[in-house]
Amino acid sequence: MRKILGGIKMGVTTFKGGVHPYDGKELAMDKSIVDLRPEGLMVYPLSQHIGAPAKPLVQKGDRVLLGQKIAEANGFISAPVISSVSGTVKAIEKRLTVGGAMVESIVVDNDQQYESIPGFGEKRDYHNLSREEIVSIVRDAGIVGLGGAGFPTFVKLSPKEIDKIDLFLVNGAECEPYLTSDYRDMMEMPEKLIGGLQVVLSIFPNAKGKICIEDNKPEAIKLLTEKVKGMDNIEVVALRTRYPQGGERQLIYAASGRKINSSMLPADAGVVVDNVDTVVAIYEAVCESKPLVRKILTVTGDAVASPGNFRVPLGTNYQQVISAAGGFSEEPEKVISGGPMMGMPLFVLDIPVTKNSSSILAFKKDPVAEEATTPCINCGRCVTACPENLMPTLMMVASLQKNTERFEKLYGMECIECGCCSYVCPAKRPLTQGFKQMKRKVNAEKRAKAVKAQGGK
């Protein structure tokens, strides 16, 4: 299929399955990013990434600076934590996080001075850096996947066979409804995005870059297409608007035709994928000597007084971010951290912004709470919608029976927990929730078997 986007004729690609929920992006997509300067205590959880929690480098009473590493990576799959303000360490204690867990955290009293470490913000030419030096900078900057997964970025940039990577995809789909922070990134910082992509491509000598954007963002497609004119190693790819187009497997298939599954890494297919803001963060770390100390959040929904996009120092309290958007126009029935399809419902707002925060949504009504679950009518809508071509009807039976063996035989571990099946189900069955529980149960059983095989150690 070919489509005219902002005067540019280009192919539009997608994947099989998926859904088309109301996207709600008009509430905030035209709102420029606003810098937020928080007050009071900043909370830095030591586990805000996939892998081992970071190890504290400071103690109570220490003064810290903006850009200072306050916790170091504690293993290969781990990431350091950097202070986003200057101030005094008040405590190292467990604090509540988005997922409801109490996580060991460093608490810093923000002194509002924003005194930074020496060299913070200094310009640097990546052409003068070796591949190893660039990867080391990204690692020490604490950069992880900022699209929500939180996987340490330097690991992605360190595959076993670098020469076999021939494609680097920038994920600009932003397919979750209501979220617009990546769109604003592309519109306001295209040079940083393209610069970060050029930095990454210098690591992979055989790779070309593709900036992948859904076609409901024609202005971003037009702008970036103009910006990359004359660059033979970068192109912009328009993707058909369809959720979950931004899922890693779906993006890879739509942009390249290559398929991966849960037993593979993208690198196994010669691909590396990073979110738009992650690539911008790479540029800032490598070319501007700025470690990851901020997150761009969308604050929106019909219960938010002034929806917008905010550049927020990591560790900021959610309540302060909501206040920056004018607070609530009326008491919301539902508040979500992240998108409405894959986000986490919030019951308290006294939690910190972390590297894997993406948005705060607030709605006057919670229609899901009013929906009654009824028996499956075998309509097959979930099967049609599943982007992984699974059988959610049969998987749900296995889930209800707690039959992990049957669940695995139905390829239940391939579920990406996107929520498409639950969204289209006329019986309003909690399909995705059931599959999440079963995947955890399967993994727990495998860990128990591994421990038993090692003699219970």
Q: Give the residue numbers of the binding site.
A: 376, 379, 382, 386, 415, 418, 421, 425
Q: Return the number of other C-beta atoms located less than 10 Å from residue 89's C-beta.
A: 20
And the tokens for 353? 């912004």
Q: In sequence order, which residues have a C-beta less than 8 Å from that of residue 56 and are 6 or more positions away? A: 46, 70, 71, 92, 106
Q: In sequence order, which residues have a C-beta less than 8 Å from that of residue 104 and are 6 or more positions away? A: 45, 46, 47, 53, 92, 93, 94
Q: Binding-site residues for [4Fe-4S] cluster, please?
A: 376, 379, 382, 386, 415, 418, 421, 425
Q: Return the number of other C-beta atoms located less than 10 Å from residue 241's C-beta.
A: 18
The region, left, alpha or beta by phi > 0 then psi within -120 to 50, assigned to residue 35 is beta
Q: What does DSSP assign to residue 72? A: E
Q: In sequence order, which residues have a C-beta less than 8 Å from that of residue 364 and are 6 or more positions away? A: 302, 303, 330, 332, 333
DSSP β-ladder status, 33-35 and 308-313: parallel
Note the maximum CA span of the chain.
Answer: 66
And the tokens for 20? 């088309």
Beta bridge partners of residue 239, listed in sequence order? 13, 214
Q: What does DSSP assign to residue 49? A: S
CA 419 remoteness from chain centre: 16
CA–CA separation, 334 vs 248, rounded Å? 28
Q: In sequence order, which residues have a C-beta less than 8 Å from that of residue 124 and are 6 or more positions away? A: 286, 287, 288, 289
DSSP β-ladder status, 208-214 and 234-239: parallel
And the tokens for 382? 């979930």
Tell which residue, 269, 246, 267, has the closest CA to residue 259.
Answer: 269
- ∠ CA 140-208-17, nearest 5°, is 95
Tell which residue, 235, 234, 228, 254, has the closest CA to residue 243.
Answer: 254
Tell which residue, 99, 94, 46, 98, has the closest CA to residue 74.
Answer: 46
